[in-house]
Amino acid sequence: MALDLRPGERVYQEIKNAILSGHFAIHQRLDIDKLAARLGVSATPVRYALAILASERLVRLNKSRTYQVAFWSERELRDLYLWRHQLIKWALASYVAAPLAPLIAPERDYIAAYLAIVRHIDVNANIEARRAARAADDRLQPALKFENDVLQDAVGDLIRVAAALENGGAPLTAALRAYFKRRVVQCAHIRSAAHASAIPDNGD
């Protein structure tokens, strides 16, 4: 009889959503039995879900064989920004210039605005490049949450990219280069802000 993977797929999506939303903090230990009880399933689909999330590098399997929410090193974050920029550059080769409508106000929802912009650019890209871009964006979400705190006028960076979408070409390339360059240069500060957010507040 074939193995029914549907419970594992549901559990995978619920745990992934909790990580991306920040409900599970970086470095947080993910106890299989507690997750199974919380989600109303056995331990098997939880293990299935965590194994997939580990392959996506959203969780990490420690030497003690326990899972925790993954967190990048400074070098990993820098490389992740550089990789996402490279994927965007490949997507620009097939980009058809068009305005983004409706434009999500970055000052209201910075992450949603970023995702809308990059997916607008990626829409005609190679399918494998799009999949790699989605995976990179998932891993970048903890950084995206703190870009606006660390970088002066981070919202302006997104607005300038969005404004260049209509005509494409050199202005869009330049706006994207500036966007990613600032984040590569400041990745240590972005990482520090994200890391500080995960330190428990003991009331001191």
Could you read off the pLDDT of 113-164 as tens digits, one per residue? 999 999 999 999 999 999 999 999 999 999 999 999 999 999 999 999 999 9
- Position of tokens 């009889």? 1
- Break the chain into its structural domains and give their ranges: 6-69, 74-193
Q: Is the per-residue pLDDT at 25 higher than 60?
A: yes
pLDDT value for 200: 53
Q: Rounding to the nearest 10 degrees, give the CA dihedral for residues 53, 56, 57, 60.
A: 30
Could you read off the pLDDT of 39-51 as tens digits, one per residue? 999 999 999 999 9
- Neighbouring CB atoms inside 10 A of 78's CB total 19
The topology (CATH level 3) of 6-69 is Arc Repressor Mutant, subunit A (1.10.10)
> pTM for this structure?
0.89
User: Strand locations in the chain, DSSP E?
Assistant: 29-30, 59-61, 67-69
Which residue type does 88 have? Answer: I
Q: Is the peptide bond before 99 cis (omega within 30 degrees of 0)?
A: no
pLDDT value for 3: 44
Q: Is the per-residue pLDDT at 2 higher than 50?
A: no
> Which is nearest to 36 in space by CA: 64, 73, 10, 5?
10
> Which is nearest to 114 in space by CA: 141, 78, 74?
141
> Which is nearest to 36 in space by CA: 45, 23, 26?
45
